[in-house]
């Protein structure tokens, strides 16, 4: 099985010099002679001020990549298209109803088995655990964990009607439920947010230190770590806009595909 993976194209972003368009064009060129079996997108399709360049526009771009199957994990920008339309915990169903119009499968909704390989995925979300006390204080950003949590909860309850930890637990529980659902099979797992502090830059700037809080969670400290799932072949993520690969002896590599080098191809 041949797999093509990409993420965080943010098509239409006003300051990205058509980055997303170039990634999709590169994907089309890469697979023209030999289409992959599966295309996996790890979240954040579009980010545009043009009302015509909406989430459906991004799904149409994804579907244009020649492949037998098109899989999608929701990113924060994707979910923002639902704000004010449906309760946040209904996002898997709402986005899947949109995805099926374009023959795209949302992994947040349910896993899928293709051949003898199961694909599972989820937004993942964040629990603030990747934040570390900044070495340089900046009054624009929280400097303690308590103030960070207070501000995050205030935003979440006002915008989404739910606490940050309730949304994180919702995403994590669904992901692990889906992993159990396909237990015993060889597996590819994907999230939008990152499951490791090794994916992040620390002490780069107060802004970076603050943003790290919303990058993901520490899967190493989880009682049900994804990377320890039997039969796991690859674990993918995005969100940081920086490509990186972490080799873990005895377990599947963790690969962030969201940088300049995408799309990436893999043989399963």
Per-residue pLDDT reduced to its tens digit, 157-192: 999 999 999 999 999 999 999 999 999 999 999 999
In this structure, CATH architecture of domain 2-267: 4-Layer Sandwich (3.60)
pLDDT confidence tier of residue 223, bands split at 50, 70 and 90: confident
Residue 153: Cβ-neighbour burial (10 angstroms; 0-12, 13-18, 19+): middle
Distance CA 197, CA 221 (A): 11
Residue boundaries of the structural domains of the chain: 2-267
Encode burial over 201-238: b for 16+ CB neighbours within 10 A, e otherwise: eeeeebeebbbbbbbbbebeeeeeebbebeebbbbbbb
Q: What is the pLDDT of residue 24?
A: 97
Q: Report the mean per-residue pLDDT for the chain.
A: 95
- Assess whether pLDDT exceeds 90 at residue 92: yes
What average pLDDT does range 241-258 have in this prediction? 93
Q: What is the pLDDT of residue 232?
A: 97
Q: What is the pLDDT of residue 195?
A: 97
Q: What is the pLDDT of residue 136?
A: 87
């Amino acid at each position: 099985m041949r797999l093509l993976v990409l993420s965080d194209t943010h098509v239409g972003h006003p300051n990205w010099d058509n980055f997303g368009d170039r990634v999709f064009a590169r994907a089309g060129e890469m697979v023209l002679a030999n289409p992959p079996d599966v295309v996996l997108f790890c979240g954040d399709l579009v980010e545009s001020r043009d009302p015509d360049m909406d989430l459906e526009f991004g799904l149409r771009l994804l579907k244009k990549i020649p492949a037998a199957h098109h899989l999608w994990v929701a990113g924060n920008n994707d979910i923002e298209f639902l704000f004010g339309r449906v309760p946040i915990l209904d996002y898997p169903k709402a986005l899947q109803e949109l995805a099926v119009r374009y023959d795209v499968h949302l992994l947040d909704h349910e896993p899928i088995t293709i051949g003898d390989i199961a694909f599972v995925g989820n937004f993942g979300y964040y629990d603030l655990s990747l934040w570390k006390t900044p070495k340089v204080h900046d009054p624009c950003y929280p400097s303690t964990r308590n103030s960070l949590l207070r501000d995050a909860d205030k935003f979440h309850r006002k915008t989404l009607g739910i606490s940050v930890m309730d949304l994180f637990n919702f995403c994590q529980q669904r992901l692990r439920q889906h992993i159990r659902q396909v237990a015993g099979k060889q597996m590819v797992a994907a999230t939008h947010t990152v499951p490791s502090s090794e994916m992040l830059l620390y002490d780069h700037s107060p802004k970076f230190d603050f943003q790290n809080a919303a990058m993901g969670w520490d899967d190493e400290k989880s009682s049900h770590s994804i990377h320890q799932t039997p039969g796991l072949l690859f674990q993918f993520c995005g969100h940081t806009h920086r490509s990186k690969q972490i080799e873990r002896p005895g377990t599947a590599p963790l690969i962030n595909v969201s940088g300049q080098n995408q799309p990436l191809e893999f043989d399963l």
